[in-house]
Amino acid sequence: MAMIAAYVGAALFRVIPVSVALRNCGWMLLGSAAVIALLLARNILVFGEAQPYVLMVGEHATLLESFRVFLHGLFWDITGSSTLAKYVAWDFKILVALAMVLLAFITVGLLRGWRYFGPATRFALLFGALFCFASASMLVIAHTYHGLDFGYLLRHMMQFTWLLLAVTLVTLLALGGRVARLALALVVAILLTSRLWFIVDDLRVERAMQQAFAENTSVVEAARPFLTDGRILTDQIKQRLAQDASIPAAIQALPENALILSNQGPLLGYLASRPVRTLPLPSVTDLSAVSGRVTQVFHEMRGDRPVYLVFVPDNRIVRDPESRHWQSMITSGLTLHHRVVGSDSNHLIILVSPPREETAQRA
């Protein structure tokens, strides 16, 4: 979309002829259509529908709040310091002052250099600006209306931060002079320093996480100190679960004809060397997806097989404000008739009874 918008803008500003813009837009749409068609065909073959992805609920944030979250992540990506990024993004006076300086600098540089830029440079600047605007808008809307949390926000921002650097470098080169060269050297030095600081700090936190997960038998308790700043703990959680011998032992002890479902299905299936289906668990406070999936399993099942649900900590569980009580929250929130048959600090095993209508049909 940004590329097509750039061609339209370039034609309007007479950077390129209208015929060239139309021809290039046509090639862009044709090339995109081939990729999109293959993606839709794959979704239909695998999932049975063209759009199988479920939109999450929003974060109950306003667009302005989501924009501040976006700026927090953007500054963190640029500076490498979460503390500095938080300080700048959430302090209104500092944010406004910094925005005025940057806007004035970019405006003066672009106005001074625009007349000297060739068509290729003008188009690149136009595309970069539109791409950054479209990406930022998409992330802000996703955070506000579809629950894209802070950790995912930072991950996706890394895909276009380099364009901001490119626009900044072009602006500095357009300004020219000694001050511009010093500013260019300062920008490069800041970016290199921030990358080195981020790597050093990330290694320090990673060592602390490995030590915490090694010393604590409970995944939830081990993860608690590291949940700030949107850090994703998927790998650490799975590694700790793989070291807990009680989990595969409990699954292997279930009846041979048992049908097993889990929120960490592929991992537990590998550890226990038994088939374990994936069970959706969007939240420990809303188990409607779990009940719906289990009901579907009973409806599709041929013959009588015991159905067991195996819950283990994952990112959603450890991030819940009441994560210490995740097992009791699941057992109390599950609407299907069930019985707890095994539990430990890192797993909960539940035997689920068929819904009444399924039992009646089989009788």
Query: What's the predicted TM-score (pTM) here?
Result: 0.62
CA 127, chain centre distance (Å): 25
| C-alpha neighbours within 13 Å on the C-beta side of residue 34 | 5
Tallying the residues shown for the chain, one arrives at 363
Predicted local distance difference test score (pLDDT) of residue 59: 54
Of 155-164, 220-229, 268-277, minimum mean pLDDT range: 155-164
Q: Strand, coil or helix: what is 108?
A: helix
DSSP state of 58: P
CB 240 within 8 A of CB 219: yes
The β-bridge relationship of strands 347-352 and 338-344 is: antiparallel
> What is the distance between the alpha carbons of residues 270 and 248, in angstroms, rounded to a whole number?
9
pLDDT of residue 362: 46
Q: Lowest-pLDDT range, 20-24, 40-44, 104-108, 159-163?
A: 159-163
Question: In this structure, what token pair is assigned to residue 317?
Answer: 């569980």
- Name the pLDDT band for 61 (thresholds 50, 70, 90): confident
Quick check: 261 pLDDT over 90?
yes
Distance CA 347, CA 28 (A): 50
Q: How many Å apart are CA 354 and CA 360, to the nearest integer?
A: 10
How high does pLDDT run on average in the chain? 82
Q: How far apart are CA 227 and CA 151, in angstroms?
A: 10
The closest alpha carbon to 315, from 151, 173, 88, 171, belongs to 151
The owner of tokens 């890394």 is: 158
Lowest mean pLDDT among 99-113, 143-157, 326-340, 347-361: 143-157
Q: How far is CA 294 from CA 199, 274, 321, 334, 355, in A?
A: 44, 19, 26, 11, 9
The Cα–Cα gap between 98 and 115 comes to 27
User: 75, 84 in Cβ contact below 8 A?
Assistant: yes
Q: What mean pLDDT comes out for the span 145-161?
A: 67
| Alpha carbon separation from 293 to 110, 278, 289, 359 (Å, rounded) | 56, 10, 6, 17
**Phi, psi for 259 (deg, rounded to 5):** -100, 120
d(CA 321, CA 319): 6
What are the φ and ψ backbone dihedral angles of 352, each rounded to 5 degrees?
-105, 135
pLDDT at 60: 66
pLDDT in the model for residue 79: 78
Per-residue pLDDT band at 275 (split at 50, 70, 90): very high
* Termini Cα distance of the chain: 57
Q: How many CB atoms lie within 10 A of CB 361?
A: 11
pLDDT band at 51 (very low <50, low <70, confident <90, very high): confident
- Higher pLDDT residue, 247 or 72? 247
Identify the pLDDT of residue 327. 92
- Mean pLDDT computed over 225-244: 83
Beta-bridged to residue 260, according to DSSP, are: 308
- Residue 56 is given by DSSP the state P
363 falls in which pLDDT band (50, 70, 90)?
A: very low
Q: Helix (H) and strand (E) counts for the chain?
A: 17, 5
Residue 311: pLDDT band (50, 70, 90) is very high
Least confident of 102-106, 233-237, 269-273: 102-106
Average pLDDT on 119-140 reads 79
Q: Which of 28-37, 57-66, 79-88, 239-248 has the lowest mean pLDDT?
A: 57-66
Q: Band the pLDDT of 139: cuts 50, 70, 90.
A: confident
- pLDDT for position 287: 87
pLDDT tens per residue across span 171-206: 777 767 777 778 778 888 888 888 888 888 888 888
Tokens of 37: 């068609």
Q: Does 111 have pLDDT greater than 80?
A: no
